[in-house]
Amino acid sequence: MKRLALKAALAAAALAVGAIPAPAQAVVGQPAPGFTLVDSNGKTRSLGDFAGRTVVLEWWNHECPFVGKHYGSGNMPKLQKEWTGRGVVWLVVNSSAAGKQGHVDEAHANALMKEKGGAPTAVLLDHDGRVGRSYGAKTTPHMFVIDGKGTLVYAGGIDDKPTADVADIATATNYVQKALADVTGGRPVATATSRPYGCSVKYAD
């Protein structure tokens, strides 16, 4: 009996150890998952640091042609400059694992942003992919907008032209631009979700 009781206790303990909470999942209309990451300048950044401010998360892989479309044309840097100039926090997130396409270290990330004219608040390094997976980030770019209350109010593509053709930017409906205009204007976001497009995020296996 004692042996059976011991086995039962060990089994219960194993279940308790295995019952690790699943990571928070990003759902539009719900609180955005919190996170803490180190940026490309070695500074620790947490989502909670920006309470009360609108935050954009942009998943980034510089080797992806869809990302190249928006940086090479100046479209993404223009958006970053416009909205950070209006008090929005813009966080670029790199979830490419070591050895995978788009992986960068701190110096390379900074050099690339300088070369392309990027102007985010910070570039965050998520090489183990925990933050990307918690948000369900699937593509580069995959865009998210969080309002000042910490609620996720937009998730999806940057626009409605899922191509790598720079010429399509001029006629695209930019969902991020519109979401930010709605949030900063005190309005509900008219288009809260859309289909993300781009290269798959190169997570660790």
- Decide: residue 74, CB within 10 A, 0-12 exposed, 13-18 middle, 19+ buried: middle
By the 8 A CB rule, do 97 and 103 touch?
yes
Other beta carbons within 10 Å of 21: 5
Residue with more model confidence, 3 or 59: 59
Which of the four pLDDT bands, split at 50, 70 and 90, describes residue 25?
confident
Please give the structure tokens belonging to residue 29.
């209309």
- Amino acid identity, residue 7? K
Give me the chain's average pLDDT, please.
91
**What would the mean pLDDT of 56-76 be, rounded to a whole number?**
98
Helix, strand, or coil here: 129? coil
Please state the pTM of the whole predicted model.
0.88
Please give the structure tokens belonging to residue 104.
């960068």
Cα–Cα distance, 10 to 16 (Å, whole number): 10
Which of the four pLDDT bands, split at 50, 70 and 90, describes residue 17?
very low
- Cis omega before residue 141 (within 30°)? yes
The pLDDT tens digits for 155-204 are 999 999 999 999 999 999 999 999 999 999 999 999 999 999 999 999 99
**What would the mean pLDDT of 83-98 be, rounded to a whole number?**
98
pLDDT above 70: residue 88: yes
Per-position b or e across 77-98, b if 16+ CB within 10 A of its CB: bebbbebeeeebbbbbbbbbbe
The pLDDT tens digits for 109-142 are 999 999 999 999 999 999 999 999 999 999 999 9
Q: Are strands 122-125 and 143-146 parallel, antiparallel or unpaired?
A: unpaired
Instruction: Locate the domains of the chain by residue range.
Output: 23-200
Helix (H) or strand (E) holding 89: strand 89-94
- Amino acid identity, residue 138? K
By the 8 A CB rule, do 80 and 110 touch?
no
CATH number of 23-200: 3.40.30.10
Cα–Cα distance, 70 to 25 (Å, whole number): 27
By the 8 A CB rule, do 154 and 192 touch?
yes
Question: Per this entry, what is the length of the chain?
Answer: 205
DSSP assignment of 140-192 equals: ES-EEEE-TTSBEEEEE-SBS--SS-GGGGGG--BHHHHHHHHHHTT---S--
Helix, strand, or coil here: 25? coil
